[in-house]
Each structure stands twice: as C-alpha cells, then as structure tokens.
Amino acid sequence: MFNSLKRALLSLLFAFCFSTGALCWAQLIPSAVAGGSGVVYYVRSGSGNDRNAGTSTMFPFKTIGWAARLVNPGDIVYVMSGTYPEQVYLTRSGSAGLGYITFQAYPGAKPLMTDYNAYAAFNFAPNESYIIIDGFTVIGNAKSVTQAQALVP
C-alpha cells in the first residue's frame, strides 16, 4: 500500500514538474523507485577519506571515484563543495526496476570537477544506463581539443 501511495504522489509531482517546466524530476526519481539498495553516500574533497564508510556527512569519502565503485541501483552520492581533480569511471548501472544511480551536488554545494588531461568528467562503460549526474561544474581539456576530435561521434 505504501509503495502505491508513493507512486501516486510521484505521478502528481512528475505531472507538476512536466507541466510547469520545473527541473525537479532528476531529484525525485532515485527515491521513488522501490527495490533498490537506497544507500546514500557523501563525498567531501578537503576532509573526506576513502577509508571512511562514506554514509554520513561526518565521515564522507574523499573522491567521487571511490563512491562510484560502490554504488548500486537506487543509491545516491551527494558531493559537497570543493575541487575534485579526478575523472570518474562509471562501471555500474541503475535499472528501471531498482532505480537510478544518482551523483548530485549536496544541497547548496557547488562541486567543481577539474582534470586537465580528460575530455569528460564522467566516463561510462559500455551499456551503462539509468544514471543521473546533476549540479556539477566541470573544467576539462576543451582548449586542446581539435575540431576533428570534437566531431568524432
């Protein structure tokens, strides 16, 4: 009963977001799908440690990449303000039945990803899907990309 009520409320929220053009859908999807693991991880570049459990703001991970190695469908990774000089490799997928994997800025945070040797901040393995990435500022290697490289599909 609880899941059907949650789905009904979600449908109303989606209808509101869609009809008003609000950008709230990405934050609603992960918590709305029943069945995923639903673990929430936290990352803080300055004071985090990849040896931490990462499941609280008191003991966050240091790198987004470490969290990416652990996530499962339905999980959310909140990234705090700071500079993250890393390239994240995503080798796990969310799913339609178990939920999206979400990487997003912690509320009010402004995480900055920088890797001057990379063309992409988040790299997907083949067939990875049901992943949401939201709220990041990315500075990469765009200045050294030639027009021919940029046009490669």
Parallel, antiparallel, or unpaired: how do β-strands 137-139 and 88-90 relate?
unpaired
Among candidate residues 33, 133, 26, 152, the one with its CA nearest the CA of residue 78? 133
User: Residues 44-90: pLDDT tens digits?
Assistant: 999 999 999 999 999 999 999 999 999 999 999 999 999 999 989 99
pLDDT over 50 (residue 22): no
Among candidate residues 103, 109, 128, 94, the one with its CA nearest the CA of residue 46? 109
Decide if 46 contacts 111 (C-beta within 8 A). no
> What ranges do the domains of the chain cover?
1-32, 35-145
Q: At what angle do helices 25-32 and 2-20 cross, to 10 degrees?
A: 170
**Integer Cα distance of 61 and 10 in angstroms:** 31
Give residue 119's pLDDT: 65
